[in-house]
């Protein structure tokens, strides 16, 4: 048997792939499929961007480029469940999951009808720049994809599952739109909404208006004659297009509040934040809302006043946050991870490890970065696990990703292999 | 916060109190407020006051709270507070009736516990006074440790905040805010206009719905009107389903609002602050509005320069239903002492004074069938003091809500030690976990 | 209403009988001397504004006005050790406020000369038994000079009791915005610390310049120009005039104490709220303290709910000498209840009374003239129907420097007026 041995000879610049091989196999690797039990020794075959086969005894096709998997672990491609990766940073775009801040003043809004801080129609793919440095950094950290959301405004816009490689944003889109990203920003002192209360009232009115808009247009469409037409409202179009609503909630009070509020909206809701979930579990579980847990665990601010003691509440939240995923898993609540303000691959890994140290099993942790993300967004039919027919997104790690010294060897995105930039200089040994 | 565990401590101490067993508070000096005072006992059963009397039979299995030398009064009710909320003012617009405190209630606000420790068991949590028609309000009980749903006073009539005078016109009359920030109104005339226009709009909205309902009833094809969350509460006011709590100071604006309400056919439930209420007490009485005022605040702004501490007594003597409120997380911790000032300023009797912070605010909020006095059948919301609550030397030692012990001074003192230990151990642990960083 | 008319009637009697007289005998009063003595049914003789005698029975000098105080209690007039009475009228109206001057270092400014004797606050405060107050400026780092004034007098000169006895220092403090739960944003501590250090540097420099000025003056340097700012600092530098230093929390208080030691300055600490470990240092240096409103919220979420209520008792147990200040103008009249609240949480009653009478007098350097009912002291007295620290108690008569003063105010006048409005 002759195998084409895939040796990476790469430039230092991204994208760091060679010619796209049509067929690729990782053999004799440890495989976390996410959809089934982990395999200690197995082979994954990828063809034309899709997973062709996975199993302990899967033959390696003759035309495959082969990665020798000894010592390697293959995961479904890690996916950031809520991110702004690929969207060039703007001064006024806080990363998702950050506390709301007053947005810059636009025209003064006098009520919900002015649709302040509303760009609900904006899609992630409109904003994503394939060359944005965050994309390569994410791949270096083992991420093959991210659910990217616009982050500016109260109705920030619509998210898309983006694969983190490609010449054009359009190619990167796996599924869109996946949801409306809501934040609790205020307009500040002079413009509506100027308070958290106002934000709630605003969101509530917009969803009422959206339903009203939809119903009116349907009635009109049936018989336009004799009826005044309804004005086109792009803010409501955007709201209606999104199949689910993402609502922020970190503390117990916020989680319980959002569970109540989310139920009012009569739409699928996903909560994001989640640090205090253990204390709010009863409400969260009863709601049936999945939770996106922010991997950026709370910690004492670097610049804190040394004489300023943290409150017990603050300390308890810091203590509880990394244990929230384990608690969610135990309670049977669907959850996934997002990276919040974390950027460095090491920080992301350390944060996930903290959740494992706090009682989450590795399988569950991997799931929260892979299949659970896909399930929450309704794209598990094409992504999130290593199963035949699914998109060939794989994360290949030297050893166990949760170990500090483990290195991301490569990611495979849409069947194309990418190596971390920092490691690209090292040449791999040809397989024997 | 001491708080979550404090409850655990209480549970450990008095399991019966939390599990709904009968409780007898015995040998107490009982200030019923509505039925005089006596030395005797109170039997609590299923969270309600079952009996009050000089000698009561103690049911088998009842838990006995020995209260000799102690005074018991009804849980204090604060008709004007801003605790327990993560937002107070939606000041961007002149009419913000679409917003509501309930959306931002925070049952973990430590001020709830502090108020509880001052004997407050029921609170009217109000929107602020930045605009002529403010947001919706929530009546809560200070059930510390419970969720929002359990915090809310079941069945209390919802309210809304109005505001007259300097505050709502400030945004229109402070040039330093900048031209874009200027917001109508800038005068008391404009404040009236804003309210008038809002209710004119609300009437129209109500008519649209009525017309729609009529067409629908006839089976005609009709598009319903768009639901407007700003106007819905105003329609509720017109229909008497929502109470207006109106922040006001000067006699002229008080009269203006009463007349405007008369014209539109609704009632002002309470005038809040109402510092010049004593000047128009006759008119307030005639309209039927309650008055919820400060004991002795004055001179902090022009419209408070004619404020006098005799206001409560004067209005009370003219037949107005008067309460004393705090508008302050601190002041609400000793409203009993605010009541004592009404004995000094204007010579109210002790019962009349205590009524200002118990049964009167209960009546103003239309919850007096449940709370506000110590009578059989009412909620067992009770406060034990070590001395007469109108004495400045008194302090709260125990507070019951619905027959549950929510505050106990001794348990609080014990919990402090436990909390301190927990805090130090968490600090140590987290210090180890987070390696010291170089200063930025 | 009935009680008020009685009080008014009492005053009318006093005015009628004693207005023009400088000899008054109060008899049959329950006397609380404030100096550890209670005399039931006692007598106090007032002559020429001073207390000429205190006892179980005194003979009435010829021509003395006699006030029968049967059933009433006689206490020393109370002293509010921190207000801006006379300097401010309506909080929100800039034009009525004379407390905050421009500039950081203004030791030369004198509150006394800006006291408006017609301020409505004077009458209102007096009505609750307060006979004198320390009125202070508030702006900048060194705000100016505070004076103890009587709440009576046609001019500020007549009101003056202890003029310019202290200079207020708002000691620089690191005050970053604290981060709430879940708030990861930078606390701004570094900025706050930088600001603090810059302010501290300027304060040190100012003191150094004042010292150089003092040296030059002592050396008799002829070319020297007189400088009002530095002139005002001279009694501070020599330790004659104490600084009234505002510092609330442990770090700030420790800072202030170290600063005072280093610079060899005499200080009075004001606005103390959470002394922590600084308490021992306060005791060690025997620094008097002016305590703020007892009825205050705890500073931190985790503080005991009563942390501010118990503070006076804690200071007392540690041996600190303190007086109460309202640190307010509209609520200066609630000074007695501020003292009573501390009693509810452990402070002995007699100490609470001292903290609004004799301790205050001693801290302001008038211990020999004010604060107790003792022979030779100024006759600042109140006749009450009970304990003056209780809100239910009525003040029936007041004497300031032996003169009966009215207990009427804007408030009683409006009350009377609107009581008469037909139903």
Secondary structure (DSSP) of A400-419? -TTSTT-EEEEEEETTEEE-
Domain membership of residue A196 (yes or no) is yes
Range A265-273 average pLDDT: 97
**Residues C153, C20 within the same domain:** no
Q: Do A301 and C182 touch (CB under 8 A)?
A: no
Q: Do residue C84 and residue C72 come from a single domain?
A: no
CB contact under 8 A, C187 and A299: no
| pLDDT at C22 (0 to 100) | 87
Chain A residues with CB-CB distance to C174 below 8 A: 305, 307
Under an 8 A CB cutoff, do B117 and C305 touch? yes
CB atoms under 10 Å from CB of A354, counted, come to 18
CATH number reported for the structural domain that contains residue A410 in this entry: 2.30.40.10
Residues in chain C closer than 8 A to A98 (CB atoms): 184
| Residue B390 φ/ψ, nearest 5 degrees | -90, 0
Same domain, A351 and A400: no
Strands C38-47 and C23-32: antiparallel
Q: Which helix (H) or strand (E) holds B162?
A: strand B159-163
Contacts of C329 (CB under 8 A, 6+ apart): B299, C83, C84, C85, C88, C91, C121
Q: Pick from A99, A296, A303: which is nearest to C183 by CB? A: A99
CB contact under 8 A, C192 and A305: yes
Same domain, B274 and B285: yes
Tens digit of pLDDT for each residue in C200-244? 999 999 999 999 999 999 998 877 789 999 999 999 999 999 999
Q: DSSP letters of A306-338? A: TT-PPPHHHHHHHHHGGGHHHHHHHHT--EEEE
Q: Are residues A276 and A344 both part of a single domain? A: yes
Q: Do A275 and C249 touch (CB under 8 A)?
A: no
For position C235, what pLDDT does the model report?
97
Test mutation, C174, C176, C180, C181, chain A, max A CBs within 10 A: C181
Q: What percent of chain C has pLDDT over 90?
A: 88
Last residue of a domain, one of C370, C385, C412: C370
Question: What per-residue confidence (pLDDT) applies to A102?
Answer: 45
Last residue of a domain, one of C370, C395, C410: C370
Give the integer Cα–Cα distance in Å for A307 and C113. Answer: 40
Residue C161 belongs to what H/E stretch? strand C160-170
Q: How many domains does chain C have?
A: 2
Residues of A in contact with B101 (CB under 8 A): 197
Show which residues on chain C lie within 8 Å of chain A, measured between beta carbons: 174, 176, 178-190, 192, 249-251, 300-302
**Is residue C103 pLDDT above 60, yes or no?**
yes
- Pair (A96, A58) in one structural domain: no
pLDDT tens track for A92-113: 444 444 444 444 445 789 999 9
Residue B390 lies in a domain: no
* Residue C183 in domain: no
Interface test with C, best of A311, A312, A315, A320 (most C CBs within 10 A): A311
pLDDT for C3 equals 43
* Residues A193, B90 contacting (CB under 8 angstroms): yes
pLDDT at B176: 73
Query: 3-state class of B397 per DSSP?
Result: strand
Domain shared by B114 and B64, yes or no: no
Of C353, C370, C387, which residue constitutes the final position of a domain?
C370
CATH label of the domain that carries residue B17: 2.30.40
- 375-414 of A, contacting B, C-beta below 8 A: none
Q: What is the rounded distance in angstroms from the CA atom of residue C382 to the CA atom of residue C395?
A: 7
Which CATH number do you get for residue C383? Answer: 2.30.40.10
Do C291 and C397 fall within a single domain? no
Based on the domain organization, do C398 and C412 belong to the same domain?
yes
CA neighbor of B235 nearest in space, from B190, B193, B265, B255 = B265
Domain of B59, in residue numbers: 4-74+404-433
C178/A308 touch (CB, cutoff 8 Å), yes or no: yes
Q: Which two tokens stand for residue A24?
A: 């690729």
Cβ distance of C392 and B344 shorter than 8 Å: yes
Contacts of A297 in chain C (CB under 8 A): none
* C110 and C221, same domain (yes or no): yes
Asked whether the CA dihedral B303, B308, B313, B319 is positive or negative, the reply is negative
User: A168-225: per-residue pLDDT in tens?
Assistant: 999 999 999 999 999 999 987 789 999 999 999 999 999 999 999 999 999 899 989 9
Please report whether residue C181 resides in a domain. no
Both B353 and B274 in a single domain?
yes
Residue B92, chain A, CB below 8 Å: the answer is yes
CA distance C378 to C52: 9
To which residue do tokens 């005089």 refer?
A: B36
| SS3 category, C55 | strand
Say yes or no: A72 and A97 in one domain: no
Whether B382 maps to a domain, the answer reads no
Q: What is the CATH number of the domain that holds C148?
A: 3.20.20.140
- How many angstroms separate the CA of residue C395 from the nearest CA in chain B? 10
Neighbours of A, requiring at least 3 CB pairs below 8 Å, are: B, C
* A426 pLDDT above the threshold of 50: no
The boundaries of the domain holding residue C385 are: 1-76+373-423
The mean pLDDT of A22-39, rounded to a whole number, is 95
CA atoms within 13 A on the CB side of C204: 10
Same domain, A406 and A344: no
Both C233 and C298 in one domain: the answer is yes
Residues C19 and C112 in one domain: no
Please name the chains neighbouring C, where neighbouring means 3+ C-beta pairs under 8 angstroms: A, B
A204 touches chain B (CB under 8 A): yes
Task: Compare all CA atoms of chain B with the CA of C336 and give the residue at the minimum distance.
Answer: B392
Q: How far is C410 from chain A (nearest CA, A)?
A: 38
Q: Are A28 and A137 in the same domain?
A: no
Contacts of A309 in chain C (CB under 8 A): 300, 302
- Output the domain CATH number for residue B106: 3.20.20.140
- C308 with C382, same domain: the answer is no
For tokens 């010579």, the residue is: B347
Residue A381 lies in a domain: no
Domain assignment of residue B26, yes or no: yes
User: How distant is the Cα of C246 from the closest Cα of chain A, in angstroms?
Assistant: 18
Residues of chain C contacting residue A274, judged by C-beta atoms under 8 Å apart: none
Contact present, C95 and C52 (Cβ < 8 Å): no
C105's CB contacts (< 8 A; 6+ apart) are C140, C141, C142, C202, C203, C206, C229
pLDDT of A282-323, one tens digit each?
A: 999 999 999 999 999 999 887 788 888 899 999 999 999 999
- With a CB-CB cutoff of 8 Å, which residues 187-246 of chain A face chain C? none
Contact A15, A418 (CB under 8 A): yes
Residue C182 placed within a domain: no
Residues B49 and B117 grouped into a single domain: no
Look at B99 and A209 and tell me if their CB atoms are within 8 Å.
no
Write down the pLDDT at residue B434: 64
- The pLDDT of residue C176 is 65
Other CB atoms within a 10 A radius of the CB of residue A405 amount to 7
Is it the case that residue A3 has pLDDT exceeding 90?
A: no
Whether B55 and B150 share a structural domain:
no
Confidence of residue A12 (pLDDT cuts 50, 70, 90): very low
User: Does one domain contain both A327 and A269?
Assistant: yes
CA distances from C184 to A150, A222, A318 (A): 21, 52, 11
Residues C110 and C15 in one domain: no
What pLDDT was estimated at residue B21?
86
The verdict on A235 and A361 lying in the same domain is yes
**Candidate from C121, C304, C340 with C-beta closest to B392:** C340
Residues B180 and B95 in one domain: yes
**Do B411 and B295 fall within a single domain?**
no
Angstrom CA distances, B375 to B36, B63, B155, stand at: 11, 20, 20
At residue A306, the pLDDT reads: 87
Task: Mutate one of B330, B393, B407, B418 to test the C interface: name it (highest C CB count within 10 A).
Answer: B393
Q: Is B372 left (phi over 0), alpha (psi -120 to 50) or beta?
A: left
Domains held by chain A: number: 2
pLDDT in tens, chain B (440 residues): 344 444 444 444 443 344 568 999 999 999 999 999 999 999 999 999 999 999 999 999 999 999 999 999 999 999 999 999 999 999 999 999 999 999 999 999 999 999 999 999 999 999 999 999 999 999 999 999 999 999 999 999 999 999 999 999 998 887 776 767 789 999 999 999 999 999 999 999 999 999 999 999 999 878 889 999 999 999 999 999 999 999 999 999 999 999 999 999 999 999 999 999 999 999 999 999 999 999 999 999 999 999 999 999 999 999 999 999 999 999 999 999 999 999 999 999 999 999 999 999 999 999 999 999 999 999 999 999 999 999 999 999 999 999 999 999 999 999 999 999 999 999 999 988 765 444 43
Measure the CA–CA gap between A198 and A203, rounded to whole angstroms. 9
B28 and B136 both lie in a single domain: no
* Averaged pLDDT of chain A: 90
Please report whether residue B389 resides in a domain: no
Q: Is B314 within 8 Å of chain A by CB?
A: no
- Sort out which chain B residues have CB atoms less than 8 A from C345's CB and list them: 395
User: What is the percentage of chain C residues whose pLDDT exceeds 70?
Assistant: 92
What does the pLDDT average to over A360-378? Answer: 97
Verify that A70 and A190 share a domain, yes or no: no
Average pLDDT rounded to a whole number, residues A319-343? 97
Domain-located, residue C272: yes
Asked whether residue C392 is domain-assigned, the answer is yes
Tokens of B211: 């017309």
Exposure string of B168-206, with b = 16+ CB inside 10 Å and e = fewer, is: bbbbbeeeeeeeebebebbebebbbebbeebbeebbebb
| Residue C177 confidence (pLDDT) | 55
Q: Answer yes or no: do A273 and A301 share one domain.
A: yes
The answer, for B412 touching chain C at a CB cutoff of 8 Å, is yes
Q: Are residues A153 and A260 in the same domain?
A: yes
**Residue A382 included in any domain:** no
Q: What is the CATH classification number for the domain harbouring A161?
A: 3.20.20.140
Q: Say if A35 falls within a structural domain.
A: yes
Same domain membership, residue B363 and residue B277: yes
b or e along A26-37 (b: 16 or more beta carbons within 10 Å of the residue's beta carbon)? bbbbbbbbbbee
In a domain, A384, yes or no: no
B90 in the same domain as B50? no
Residues C69 and C83 occupy one common structural domain = no
Please give the share of chain A, as a percent, with pLDDT higher than 70: 89
**Mean pLDDT, rounded, for A79-92:** 85
Contact B104 A197 (CB under 8 A): yes
Residue A408 phi/psi, 5-degree rounding, is -75, 120
- pLDDT of res. C18: 44
Same domain, A153 and A23: no
CB C247 within 8 A of CB C259: no
Of B99, B171, B180, the CB nearest to A198: B99
Q: C270 and C291 share a domain? A: yes
Chain A residues near residue B92 by CB distance under 8 angstroms: 109-110, 187, 189-195, 198
Mapping DSSP to helix (H, G, I), strand (E, B) and coil, where does residue B125 land?
A: strand
* Full residue range of the structural domain in which residue A399 is found: 4-76+391-423
Q: How many domains does chain B have?
A: 2
Which chains does B contact via 3+ CB–CB distances below 8 A? Answer: A, C
Could you tell me if C57 and C99 lie in one domain? no
CA distance C212 to B182: 52
Interchain contact B426–C (C-beta under 8 A): no
Q: CB A200 to CB B423 under 8 A?
A: no
Q: Among A47, A48, A51, A57, which residue's Cα sits nearest to residue A75? A: A51
Q: In this structure, are B56 and B192 located in the same domain?
A: no
Do residue B270 and residue B412 come from a single domain?
no
Average pLDDT over residues A9-20: 42
ipTM surpassing 0.85, yes or no? yes
Residue A385 belongs to a domain: no
Of B166, B308, B412, the CB nearest to C411: B308
> DSSP label at B95?
B
Distance from CA of B24 to the nearest CA of C (A): 26
Residue B429, in any domain of the structure = yes
Question: How far is residue B137's CA from residue B80's CA, in Å, rounded to a whole number?
Answer: 10
């Amino acid at each position: 048997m002759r195998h084409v041995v895939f040796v990476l000879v790469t430039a230092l610049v991204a994208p760091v792939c060679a010619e796209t091989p049509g067929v690729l196999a990782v053999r004799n690797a440890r495989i976390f499929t996410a959809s089934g039990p982990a395999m200690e020794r197995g082979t994954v075959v990828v063809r034309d961007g899709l997973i062709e086969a996975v199993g302990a005894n899967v033959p390696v096709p003759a035309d495959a480029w082969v990665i020798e998997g000894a010592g390697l672990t293959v995961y479904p491609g890690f996916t950031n469940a809520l991110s702004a990766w690929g969207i060039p940073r703007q001064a006024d775009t806080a990363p998702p999951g950050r506390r709301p801040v007053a947005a810059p003043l636009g025209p003064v809004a006098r009520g919900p009808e002015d649709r302040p801080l509303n760009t609900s129609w904006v899609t992630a793919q409109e904003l994503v720049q394939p060359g944005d440095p965050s994309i390569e950094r994410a791949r270096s950290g083992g991420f093959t994809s991210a659910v990217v959301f616009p982050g500016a405004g109260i109705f920030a816009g619509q998210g898309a599952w983006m694969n983190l490689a490609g010449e054009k944003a359009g190619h990167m889109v796996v599924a869109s739109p996946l949801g409306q990203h809501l934040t609790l920003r205020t307009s500040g002192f002079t413009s509506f909404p100027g308070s958290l209360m106002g934000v709630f009232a605003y969101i509530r009115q917009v969803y009422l208006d959206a339903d009203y808009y939809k119903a009116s247009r349907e009635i009109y469409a049936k018989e336009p004659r004799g009826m005044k037409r309804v004005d086109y409202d792009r803010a409501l179009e955007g709201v209606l297009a999104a199949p689910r609503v993402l609502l922020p909630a970190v503390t117990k009070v916020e989680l319980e509040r959002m569970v109540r509020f989310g139920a009012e909206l009569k739409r699928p809701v996903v909560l994001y934040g989640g640090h205090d979930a253990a204390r709010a579990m009863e409400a969260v579980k009863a709601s049936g809302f999945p939770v996106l847990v922010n991997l950026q665990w709370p910690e004492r601010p670097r610049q804190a006043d040394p004489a300023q003691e943290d409150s017990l509440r603050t300390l308890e939240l810091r203590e509880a946050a990394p244990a929230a995923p384990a608690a969610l898993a135990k309670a049977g609540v669907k959850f996934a991870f997002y990276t919040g303000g974390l950027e460095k691959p090491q920080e992301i890994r350390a944060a996930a490890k903290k959740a494992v140290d706090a009682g989450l099993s590795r399988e569950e942790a991997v799931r929260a970065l892979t299949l659970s993300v896909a399930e929450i967004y309704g794209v598990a039919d094409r992504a999130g696990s290593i199963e035949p027919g699914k998109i060939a997104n794989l994360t290949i790690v030297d050893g166990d990703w949760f170990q500090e010294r483990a290195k991301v060897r490569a990611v495979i995105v849409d069947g194309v292999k990418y190596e971390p930039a920092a490691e690209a200089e090292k040449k791999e040994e040809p397989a024997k | 916060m001491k708080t979550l565990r404090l409850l655990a401590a209480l549970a450990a101490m008095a399991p019966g109190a939390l599990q709904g067993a009968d409780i007898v508070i015995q040998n107490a000096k009982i200030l019923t407020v509505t039925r005089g005072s006596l030395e005797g006992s109170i039997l609590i059963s299923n969270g309600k006051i079952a009996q009050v009397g000089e000698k009561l039979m103690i049911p088998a299995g009842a838990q006995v709270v020995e209260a000799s030398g102690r005074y018991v009064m009804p849980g204090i009710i604060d008709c004007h507070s801003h605790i327990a909320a993560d937002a107070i003012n939606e000041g961007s617009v002149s009419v913000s009736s679409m917003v509501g405190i309930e959306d931002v209630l925070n049952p973990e606000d430590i001020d709830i516990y502090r108020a509880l420790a001052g004997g407050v068991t029921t609170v009217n949590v109000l929107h602020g006074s930045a605009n002529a028609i403010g947001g919706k309000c929530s009546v809560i009980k200070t059930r510390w440790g419970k969720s929002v749903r359990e915090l809310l006073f079941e069945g209390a009539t919802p309210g809304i905040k109005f505001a007259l005078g300097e505050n709502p016109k400030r945004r229109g009359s402070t040039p330093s805010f900048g031209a874009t920030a200027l917001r109508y109104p800038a005068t008391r005339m404009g404040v009236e206009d804003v309210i008038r226009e809002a209710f004119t709009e609300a009437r129209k909205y109500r008519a649209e719905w009525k017309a729609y309902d009529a067409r629908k009833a006839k089976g005609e094809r009709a598009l319903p009107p768009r639901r407007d969350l700003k106007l819905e509460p105003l329609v509720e006011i017109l229909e008497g389903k929502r109470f207006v709590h109106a922040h006001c100071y000067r006699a002229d604006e008080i009269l203006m609002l009463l007349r405007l309400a008369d014209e539109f056919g609704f009632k002002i439930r309470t005038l809040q602050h109402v510092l010049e209420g004593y000047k128009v007490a006759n008119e307030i009485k005639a309209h039927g509005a309650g008055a919820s005022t400060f004991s002795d605040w004055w001179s902090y702004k022009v419209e408070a320069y004619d404020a006098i501490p005799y206001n409560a007594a004067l209005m009370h003597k003219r037949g107005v239903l008067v309460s004393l409120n705090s508008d302050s997380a601190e002041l609400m911790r000793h409203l009993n002492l605010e009541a004592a000032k009404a004995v000094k300023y204007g010579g109210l009797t002790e019962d009349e004074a205590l009524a200002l912070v118990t049964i009167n605010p209960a009546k103003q909020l239309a919850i007096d069938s449940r709370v506000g006095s110590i009578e059989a059948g009412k909620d067992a919301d009770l406060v034990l003091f070590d001395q007469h609550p109108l004495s400045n030397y008194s302090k709260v030692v125990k507070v019951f809500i619905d027959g549950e012990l929510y505050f106990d001074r001794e348990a609080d003192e014990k919990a402090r030690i436990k909390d301190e230990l927990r805090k130090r151990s968490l600090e140590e642990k987290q210090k180890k976990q987070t390696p010291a960083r170089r200063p930025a | 209403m009935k009680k008020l008319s009685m009080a008014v009637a009492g005053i009318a009697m006093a005015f009628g009988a004693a207005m023009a007289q400088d000899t008054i005998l109060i008899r049959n009063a329950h006397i609380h001397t404030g100096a550890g003595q209670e005399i039931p049914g006692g007598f106090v003789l007032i002559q020429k504004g001073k207390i000429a005698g205190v006892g179980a029975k005194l003979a009435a000098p010829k021509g003395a006005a006699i006030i029968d105080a049967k059933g009433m209690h006689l206490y020393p007039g109370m002293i509010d050790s921190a207000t801006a009475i006379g300097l401010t009228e309506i909080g929100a109206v800039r034009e009525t406020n004379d407390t905050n001057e421009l500039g950081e270092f203004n030791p030369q400014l004198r509150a006394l000369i800006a006291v408006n004797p017609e301020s409505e606050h004077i009458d209102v405060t007096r009505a609750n038994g307060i006979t004198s107050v320390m009125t202070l400026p508030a702006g900048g780092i060194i705000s100016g000079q505070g004076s103890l004034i009587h709440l009576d007098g046609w001019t500020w000169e007549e009101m003056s009791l202890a003029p310019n006895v202290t200079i207020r220092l708002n000691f620089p403090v690191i005050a970053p915005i604290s981060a709430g739960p879940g708030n990861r944003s930078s606390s701004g501590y570094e900025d706050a610390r930088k600001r603090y250090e810059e302010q501290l540097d300027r304060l040190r420099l100012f003191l150094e310049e004042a010292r150089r000025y003092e040296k030059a003056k002592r050396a008799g340097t002829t070319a020297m120009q007189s400088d009002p700012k530095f002139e005002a600092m001279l009694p501070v530098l020599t330790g004659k005039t104490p600084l009234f230093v505002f510092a609330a929390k442990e770090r700030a208080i420790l800072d202030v104490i170290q600063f005072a030691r280093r610079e060899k300055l005499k200080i009075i600490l004001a606005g103390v709220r959470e002394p922590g470990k600084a308490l021992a240092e306060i005791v060690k240096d025997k620094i008097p303290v002016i305590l703020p409103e007892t009825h205050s919220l705890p500073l931190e979420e985790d503080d005991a709910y009563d942390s501010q209520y118990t503070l006076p008792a804690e200071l007392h147990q540690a041996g600190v000498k303190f007086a109460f200040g309202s640190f307010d103008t509209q609520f200066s009249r609630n000074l007695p209840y501020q003292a009573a609240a501390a009693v509810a949480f452990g402070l002995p009653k007699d100490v609470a009374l001292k903290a609004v009478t004799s301790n205050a007098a001693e801290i302001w350097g008038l211990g020999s003239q004010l604060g107790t009912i003792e022979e030779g002291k100024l006759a600042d007295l109140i006749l009450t129907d009970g304990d003056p620290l209780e809100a239910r108690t009525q003040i029936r008569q007041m004497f300031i420097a032996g003169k009966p003063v009215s207990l009427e105010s804007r408030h009683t006048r409006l009350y009377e007026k609107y009581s008469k409005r037909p139903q």
